[in-house]
Amino acid sequence: MYEHITTVRVRYAETDQMNIVYYGNYAQYFEVGRAECIRALGFTYKKMEEMGVRMPVVAMESRFLRPARYDDLITIKTLLRTLPEAHEICFEHEVYNENKKLLTTGKVTLYFIDNATNKRTGMPADLKETLAPYFPQ
Beta partners for 108?
A: 60, 91
User: What's the distance, Cα to Cα, between the start and end of the chain in Å?
Assistant: 11
- How long is the chain? 137
Hey, is 71 helix, strand or coil? Answer: coil
Selected catalytic residue, list 16, 71, 114, 126: 16
CA–CA separation, 110 and 96 (whole Å) = 23
126 in active site: no
C-alpha angle 61/113/106, rounded to 5°? 15
Using DSSP's 3-state secondary structure scheme, residue 106 falls into strand
Q: How far apart are CA 28 and CA 135, in angstroms?
A: 27
Cβ partners under 8 Å of residue 31, min gap 6: none
Q: Which residues are catalytic?
A: 16
